[in-house]
Amino acid sequence: MIVRDLHEAEQTRRRVVTKGWESTRLLLKEDQMGFSFHMTTIYAGSELPMHYQNHLESVYCVSGEGSIEDIATGEVHQIKPGVMYALDKHDKHILRAKSEMKMACVFNPPLNGLEVHDETGAYPLEAETV
Ligand code: 9YT
């Protein structure tokens, strides 16, 4: 069994801070669960174009409000606590945070640890471990 405390993990290299967001990776590839699990904070006012070409991601909003735009269709969905979205088609999207948003995120395949977006909005398949 694996038990980890978010508050302790935030004091380690599991916490990745970059422009517009930060994410603490609670489960990673090395844990051999087949997915990674993160608690992500999107900073208020952030506008994040993303395109996870190498990963599937699902995201559950715990707190805060914003929206997600599906670039393929132009549809905009409101995000608030209780709403989940899944990028089942590697959907190109823009996430906008009206207020600070706390999101629980799952990635398949699992992240190695220190991934941040490249210029296309994707994560590489292999990155440095924590
Ligand atoms: C919601 C989202 O995709 N935010 C970017 C960070 C990502 N969730 C991560 O690496 O944890």
Q: How far is the CA of 105 from the centre of ligand 1 (A)?
A: 7
Each residue's pLDDT tens digit, 69-78: 999 999 999 9
Q: Are 68 and 111 contacting, i.e. CB atoms less than 8 angstroms apart?
A: no
> What is the predicted pLDDT for the residue at 114?
81
Q: Kindly give the number of the ligand 1 atom that is closest to the alpha carbon of 116.
A: 10
- Using only C-alpha atoms, the chain has a radius of gyration, in whole angstroms, of 14
Is it the case that residue 128 has pLDDT exceeding 90? no
- Residue 48 inside a domain? The answer is yes
- Residue 116 inside a domain? The answer is no
Does ligand 1 come within 6 angstroms of the Cβ of 24? no
Do β-strands 101-108 and 56-63 pair in parallel, antiparallel, or remain unpaired? antiparallel
- Residue 125 inside a domain? The answer is no
**Could you tell me the CA-to-CA distances from 13 to 1, 8, 85, 117, 120 in Å, in that order?**
21, 11, 27, 17, 24
**Could you tell me the CA-to-CA distances from 122 to 5, 41, 78, 127 in Å, in that order?**
28, 18, 23, 12
Lowest mean pLDDT: which of 27-31, 52-56, 65-69, 111-115?
A: 111-115
Does ligand 1 come within 6 angstroms of the Cβ of 56? no
- Residue 120 inside a domain? The answer is no
Q: How far is the CA of 1 from the centre of ligand 1 (A)?
A: 25
Look at the chain and count its residues.
130
- Residue 115 inside a domain? The answer is no
Can you name the residues that pair with 40 across neighbouring β-strands?
23, 103
Each residue's pLDDT tens digit, 15-47: 999 999 999 999 999 999 999 999 999 999 999
- Residue 45 inside a domain? The answer is yes
- Residue 130 inside a domain? The answer is no
> What is the predicted pLDDT for the residue at 113?
82
> What is the predicted pLDDT for the residue at 129?
86
- Residue 11 inside a domain? The answer is yes
Q: Could you list the residue range(s) of the whole structural domain that residue 37 is in?
A: 6-108
Q: What is the CATH number of the domain that holds 61?
A: 2.60.120.10
* Domain count within the chain: 1
Ligand 1 pocket test: pick from 10, 39, 40 the residue with the most ligand atoms within 8 Å of its Cβ: 40
Which helix (DSSP H) or strand (DSSP E) does residue 88 occupy? none
Question: In the predicted model, what is the mean pLDDT of residues 48-72?
Answer: 97
